[in-house]
Amino acid sequence: MASIQTIKAREILDSRGYPTIETMITLDNGIVVSAAVPSGTSTGKHEAVELRDNDQSRYYGRGVLKAVKNVNEIIAPVVIGQDPTKQTTIDQILVNLDGTPNKSKLGANAILSVSQAVAKAGAATVELPLYEYFKQKYQIVQNYHIPTPIFNLINGGAHGAGNLDFQEFQIIPASNKPFYKALQIGSEIFMKLEEVLIAKGAVHSTGIEGGFAPNLYTNTDAFQLFFETITRTPYVVAQDVFLGLDAAANYFFHGGKYKIRDRNDAFSTKEMIQFYKEVSQQYHVFSLEDGLAEDDWDGWKAMTTELGGTVMMIGDDLLTTSKERVLRAIQEKSCNAVLVKPNQIGTVSETVEVVKIAKDAGWQIVFSHRSGETTDDFIADMAVGLGADYAKFGAPDRGERVVKYNRLLQIESEIAPVPASPAVSPTPSGMPSTFAPRT
């Protein structure tokens, strides 16, 4: 079996122009792979630590030379010589080397760059596509399923122009569509949305995740805009396509209240839940991510009790791809879906463990990009190989987003699925019947 011969990290730029880290691994059989890690803008306080230099003379403190040095001088000497197919063993070495609960010593960005490169090297060693390698190695799923895409078409919050409180306004094609058709739906609605914005004389520049960042008055205006746009396409809301929302509530949570521009007075947790209920009923919102703040556990439980029968309640900042937080959420019935971001936890093995736990609980699995992305398409293969139900990679534009959707297209062509019959219910694949989007 091949062994790791060299490990070399370097500083590169992400899609925002901020530094991030890329690591290259060379095996003794000549195989060379590399992995680049993304970075978040809206990050939860419970995420593993992304190590930055804080040297104001370089990139205004955002450099990652410390993380690069940790890979080259601390991690590499210990991992060189290891069998790249021994993912769990190597990941545990990385965790032990760091020795902190949040990877603050070496940096989750340093650790993940090595962990992901190891996975690529392992797949190359056994001559398997990365998605097939994940499927065979972890055996979480028996049959392939290309995740249903979640398109972030309007950017707000920390990702937009500052005039919308909610972070992502999304469209979700019905999951009875084959992926290539779902991608077509997302792209065509995106094109039509630009036409509508231009016709209205509205701002149609894009945010950092590729979606538009228009100058709207309220958050619900974005849903109205979606309805107006979709009626100008061949598609039907609540039949061909559904709406989703990533509220990213930490952004507008202050002093124990939720303050958004749709009402003069701040919302209590109970009032915020009622607002989401009304929006869900009016606009066929099928998916709600981070509707409440990251530590509002009682509120999350009440929100899922109230809405979870018909709405996919996704925990991101609440869960941060953390085993401990996911287990707590399962016990308390705080949500019914997990957003999976490997850089929130720091290793491939820990990410896989979270996916297994969530699947065993009957939750939906949503793999996600970050706002600061690279052109590495690793996460697309991982999503397929671990049986993700959904994939959230941003709008269908910008190279760092499109490369991941295009990779899913390529995988779909390789596994050659049989397109679902149009007569099939638009209930998302694998989701209990109680989650059927309203028609």
Q: Average model confidence (pLDDT) for the chain?
A: 92
Q: Give residue 273's pLDDT.
A: 97
DSSP 8-state secondary structure symbol assigned to residue 74:
I
- Phi first, then psi: give them for residue 162, nearest 5 degrees: 95, 0
Predicted confidence (pLDDT) at residue 425 exceeds the cutoff of 50: no
Enter the pTM of the model. 0.92
Please indicate whether residue 418 or residue 398 has the higher confidence score (pLDDT). Answer: 398
Burial 293-329 (b: 16+ CB within 10 A, else e): bbebbebbbbbbebbbeebbbbbbbbbbbbbebbeeb
Is 257 part of the annotated catalytic residue set?
no
Alpha-carbon distance of 352 to 138, in angstroms, equals 8
**Domains of the chain and CATH, by start:** 4-127 (3.30.390.10), 148-435 (3.20.20.120)
Q: Could you read off the pLDDT of 261-316 as tens digits, one per residue? A: 998 999 999 999 999 999 999 999 999 999 999 999 999 999 999 999 999 999 99
Alpha-carbon distance of 203 to 5, in angstroms, equals 52
Alpha-carbon distance of 276 to 288, in angstroms, equals 9
Check 341, 359, 392, 404 and give the catalytic one: 341
> Based on the number of CB atoms within 10 Å of its own CB, is 5 exposed (0-12), middle (13-18) or buried (19 or more)?
middle
Asked if 405 contacts 149 with a C-beta cutoff of 8 angstroms, the reply is yes
Is 209 part of the annotated catalytic residue set?
yes
Please indicate whether residue 61 or residue 216 has the higher confidence score (pLDDT). Answer: 61
Q: Give residue 437's pLDDT.
A: 40
- Of 247, 232, 343, 240, nearest to 294 by C-alpha is 247
Alpha-carbon distance of 110 to 253, in angstroms, equals 31
Q: Give residue 253's pLDDT.
A: 94
Check 47, 209, 373, 400 and give the catalytic one: 209
**242, containing H or E segment:** strand 241-246
Asked if 381 contacts 353 with a C-beta cutoff of 8 angstroms, the reply is no
Asked if 304 contacts 319 with a C-beta cutoff of 8 angstroms, the reply is no
Q: Could you read off the pLDDT of 45-89 as tens digits, one per residue? A: 889 999 999 999 999 999 999 999 999 999 999 999 999 999 999
Beta strands in 156-237 (DSSP E): 168-173
Residue 206: pLDDT band by 50, 70, 90 thresholds?
confident
Predicted confidence (pLDDT) at residue 352 exceeds the cutoff of 50: yes
> Based on the number of CB atoms within 10 Å of its own CB, is 427 exposed (0-12), middle (13-18) or buried (19 or more)?
middle
Predicted confidence (pLDDT) at residue 438 exceeds the cutoff of 80: no
Task: Give me the sign of the Cα torsion angle 121, 122, 127, 132.
Answer: negative
Alpha-carbon distance of 205 to 326, in angstroms, equals 37
Beta strands in 251-410 (DSSP E): 253-254, 257-258, 285-289, 312-315, 337-340, 364-368, 390-392
Beta strands in 259-351 (DSSP E): 285-289, 312-315, 337-340
Q: Could you read off the pLDDT of 226-257 as tens digits, one per residue? A: 999 999 999 999 999 999 999 999 999 999 99
CA angle 345, 62, 321 (to 5 degrees): 10
Q: Could you read off the pLDDT of 117-176 as tens digits, one per residue? A: 999 999 999 999 999 999 999 999 999 999 999 999 998 865 455 678 999 999 999 999
Q: Give residue 431's pLDDT.
A: 40
Q: Give residue 412's pLDDT.
A: 97
CA angle 123, 129, 131 (to 5 degrees): 95
